[in-house]
Amino acid sequence: MPHRSPGAPGHRGGNYLSGKVIKYYRPKGSAEVRHLIDHGFQAFNAGRLSEACNIFTEKMMLPEHETTVGLTIAGALTPAGLGGCVIEVIERGLVDFIISTGANLYHDLHYALNFSLHRGSPFLDDVELYEEGIIRIYDVLFPATVLLETDKYIRDFLVRSKLSGAMSTSEFHYRLGLDLMEQNPGCEEYSVVAHAAKSGVPIYTSSPGDSSIGMNIAYHELMNGSTLMIDPNRDVNEVCAIILAAKKNGCVILGGGSPKNFYLQGQPTLWEVYGIPKGGNDYFIQFTTDQVVWGGLSGATPAEAVSWGKVNPGVLPDTVVSYVDSTIAFPLFCEYAVGSEHNRRPRKELVHKREALVADLLEQAKKVGDEKPIQDEPAEIDRHR
Ligand SMILES: NC(=O)c1ccc[n+]([C@@H]2O[C@H](COP(=O)([O-])OP(=O)(O)OC[C@H]3O[C@@H](n4cnc5c(N)ncnc54)[C@H](O)[C@@H]3O)[C@@H](O)[C@H]2O)c1
């Protein structure tokens, strides 16, 4: 591990926020980067990254495939400045829905509200940082006041919007995005949440209580008696309905974590629970640092997902995992995609179609229920066996 103890070279002492402000980087489609990926990235994980770029641009993006693309985001990517890549692929219609950790959406709000996160070092004295009121995410530094001010904005939004009752996270994030644009006109150019709302891209969170957004919703219930309730059932059904309606399904998975499974479970929800066989995901791209040997879902391969009916067994050549830090892989991947022939698609604006898609899911599921043969009464169990 590249660890240096506090005070060793690299310790900046004092002026912790003097590093450059982290800005969202927007990929431009650099021909040099494309050349590097096509000709320089030939083997090992560079080879897999090159393969991922090809699967995305030459297969998933082909207009005739009409692939519905889900992007999943785990790891602290918005604090690291990767929100600009996400905005670019949303704006170009290259992704149709997003499943993210709440943290990435919460930290995106700092950008929307014009607070600054700074480049720093991972080798600092955290006790000193604590005493100076500075928060550290690896080498990203910002004052604790950024958290307090962002939390205040969320609580003001909850009061102002009078949101009540049960709702999906996609609805909540859509309303939040609209509010951000109203409060800070133009912020959609530097906020994923705002840009997604503008472009009609639904954003889901697989564990809504697990972030400062969820923490402030909980506060609002306890302190203000709010009835607003994030309803994960709606999220499960909406994601499932989006997947069902797609001609082909494909995913770009950044990191692993619960967003990865929340996307992939859509196929088993269809065949195992609703009795609607969709055939599994058609394209699978993952950039991760997780290893398969630990047995966790984050590092599980597309081949393993076949056994669950999550990935179509016939499409394994169209699946790839590149074991690489996604703060490196994703900007390269996006540069490649933006510079490719199929670099823009009409946006599906699924946020406005969720109700109709869930109604279709219900109709198809009811049809399956009507067609099911009537089961014989289960034989009495011999308890003495
Ligand atoms: N204040 C907040 O709102 C806040 C802050 C931090 C985390 N959280 C919550 O904690 C949970 C975990 O957060 P997390 O996603 O940051 O951490 P995590 O460590 O759980 O990472 C999730 C997955 O992504 C992988 N990953 C992480 N960084 C990567 C990288 N650079 N490249 C490739 N793969 C990478 C991990 O190996 C793991 O599989 C989330 O649910 C999040 O919402 C909340």
What is the distance in A from the centroid of ligand 1 to the CA of 137? 11
Q: Determine the residue type at 157.
A: F
Nearest protein CA to atom 42 of ligand 1, as residue? 103
Q: Please determine, for residue 317, whether its predicted confidence score (pLDDT) is greater than 90.
A: no
What is residue 309's predicted lDDT score, i.e. its pLDDT?
A: 87
Is 58 within 8 Å of 50 (Cβ atoms)? no
Instruction: Name the strand (E) or helix (H) holding 203.
Output: strand 203-205
Hey, what amino acid is at 269? T
pLDDT digits (tens, 9 = 90+) for 84-135: 999 999 999 999 999 999 999 999 999 999 999 999 999 999 999 999 999 9
Ligand 1 nearest atom to the CA of residue 290, by list position: 37
- State which ligand 1 atom lies nearest to the alpha carbon of 214: 3
With a pLDDT cut of 90, the percent of the chain lying above it is 86
Q: Which two tokens stand for residue 117?
A: 């996160």
> Do 29 and 23 meet the contact criterion of CB atoms below 8 Å apart?
no
Alpha helices (runs of H) in 284-381, residue ranges in sequence order: 302-307, 326-338, 354-371
Return mean pLDDT, the chain.
93
Q: What does the alpha-carbon distance between residue 366 and residue 242 come to, in Å, rounded to a whole number?
A: 17
| C-beta of residue 227 within 8 angstroms of C-beta of residue 220 | no
pLDDT in tens, 174-197: 999 999 999 999 999 999 999 999
Residue type, 301: T
Residue nearest to atom 3 of ligand 1 (CA): 211
Kindly give the distance from the C-alpha atom of residue 222 to the centroid of ligand 1, in angstroms, as a whole number.
27
- Per the listing, tokens 């709702």 go with 167
- Of 289, 297, 324, which is best to mutate to test ligand 1, by the most ligand atoms within 8 angstroms of its C-beta? 289
Does the pLDDT value for residue 5 go beyond 80?
no
Q: pLDDT tens digit string along 33-54?
A: 999 999 999 999 999 999 999 9
Respond yes or no: is residue 310 known to be catalytic: yes
User: How many whole angstroms separate alpha carbon 252 and alpha carbon 257?
Assistant: 13
Active-site option among 260, 310, 366, 367: 310
Q: List the structure tokens of 269.
A: 């929800």
Which residue intervals of 184-225 are DSSP H helices? 192-199, 212-224
- The residue to which tokens 């690489």 are assigned: 324
pTM of the model: 0.93
pLDDT range class, residue 374, cuts 50, 70, 90: low
Q: How far is the CA of 74 from the centre of ligand 1 (A)?
A: 5
33: CB partners within 8 A, 6+ apart? 332, 335, 336, 339
**pLDDT confidence band for 312 (50 / 70 / 90):** confident
Q: How far is the CA of 48 from the centre of ligand 1 (A)?
A: 23
Q: What is the pLDDT of residue 314?
A: 86
| Average confidence (pLDDT) over 276-280 | 92
pLDDT band, very low/low/confident/very high, at 316 (cuts 50, 70, 90): confident
Task: Dig out the tokens for 168 from the structure.
Answer: 């999906």
Pocket of ligand 1 (CB under 6 A): 74-76, 101-103, 106, 207, 210-212, 255-257, 287-290, 298, 325-327
Other C-beta atoms closer than 10 Å to the C-beta of 376 total 6
> 3-class DSSP state for residue 207?
coil
Alpha-carbon span 245 to 350, nearest angstrom: 11
